[in-house]
A = this chain, B = another copy of it.
Amino acid sequence: MPPEVLISEVGPRDGLQSVKATMATADKLRWLDALHASGLREIEVASFVPARLLPQMADAAQVVRHALTLPGWTVMALVPNRKGAEAALRAGVHKLTLPVSASQAHSLANVRKTPMAMVDEVREVLALRDAVAPGVKVEAGMSTAFGCTLQGDVPEDDVVRLALALAEAGVDDVGLSDTTGMANPAQVRRLFQRVFAEIGAKTGAAHMHNTRGLGLANCLAAFDVGVRTFDSSLGGLGGCPYAPGASGNVVTEDLVFMFEAMGVSTGIDLPKLLAARAPLAQGLPGEPLYGMTPEAGLPKGFVQESTHV
C-alpha cells in the first residue's frame, strides 16, 4: 500500500532561495542525501532562473543531476518561463512547477502580466514539454490564492477560473499557495472544494505558510476535503520575507508528525527526517531553523504504526 499523503519537500528550492547565504553545492548534495534517506518521495530541488537574479540557485543543474541518482522520488524544479523550462528539462527533472499568481496586482507587479496572460506562458512550456520530454509532469503552483498583501482579498471566483484555465491548458495539476499567510481553515476547505468540483483529480498540493501560526490547521482543513499532497520545508526554511522571526513555510517535521500521529501514513521515517536538520544547519551556519516537534522531541513511546517505511 502506498502512503496516504505525499509530502513534497520544498526547502532546497523555496527555502534556500529565501535566505541571504548561498549553500555550497557539496552541502546541498549532503542535505539531499539525508532528505532522501528519510523516505521523502517528492522534492523541489532548485529554481532555473538567471544566476544574477538568484545566485543561490546557480548550481541548479548539478543539484538536479545528483538528486536523479537517488531512487524512488520525484525530482522537481521551479521554472518561471519557457527558458527556465528548457534548462530544467535539459538537466532531466521529472516534474516542472510554474508559479502563476491568482492576484492581479501581484501578477502585474512580479511578471508584468495578468494571471490569464500567464496561462499562455504555461501553454508554451507545455508545448515544449510535449515536444522534448513528454513523460515530464507539469504543475501550476497558484500563488496568493488565499489573499494578497498588495490587493488584499483575492476573489474565490478568480482562483477557480484560473484553475480551470490552467487545467484546460493541459497542466497535470494545480496547487494552491497561501503565499502571504492569510488563509484560514474555513476558506481552505471552501476553496479546495470548489477547485475539486471544477478540475477534479487535477487539484494538486496545498502549499501553506505558518506566518500567523495556522499552517498545520490549514493543512488539516485541506486534508479533510480530500487534498493528499502537501508542500512543506524542513526547519520551516524560507517563504516569509516580511515577518521577521516568523517562519514562512509549514515545517515538514511538524506536518509529518501531525499526520503520523493521526495514523495517516506519509512514508517518512520521523527520526531520519529530524536527522536531516544537521546537514541543513551545517550548510547554513547561523540561519535559524524552526519546528516545535524537533524542539520537544517525539512523545515518549511514540511509534509510527501507520507508515510504510
Name A's B-contacting residues (CB within 8 A): 147, 149, 152-153, 180-182, 184-187, 210-214, 216-217, 219-221, 224, 240, 242-246, 251, 254, 257-258, 261-264, 291-293, 295-297, 299-301
Contact = CB atoms under 8 A, between A and B. Distances in A.
Nearest to A259: B184
A245 B300 contact: no
Given A181-B299, A212-B254, A212-B293, 10 more contacts: A153-B301, A186-B261, A186-B262, A187-B261, A211-B296, A212-B257, A213-B292, A216-B216, A220-B221, A224-B224
B244 A295 contact: yes
A245 B214 contact: no
A251 B98 CA distance: 36
Contacts of A153: 301
A210 to B, nearest CB: 7
A249 to B, nearest CB: 13
A179 to B, nearest CB: 12
A185 B244 contact: no
A203 to B, nearest CB: 21
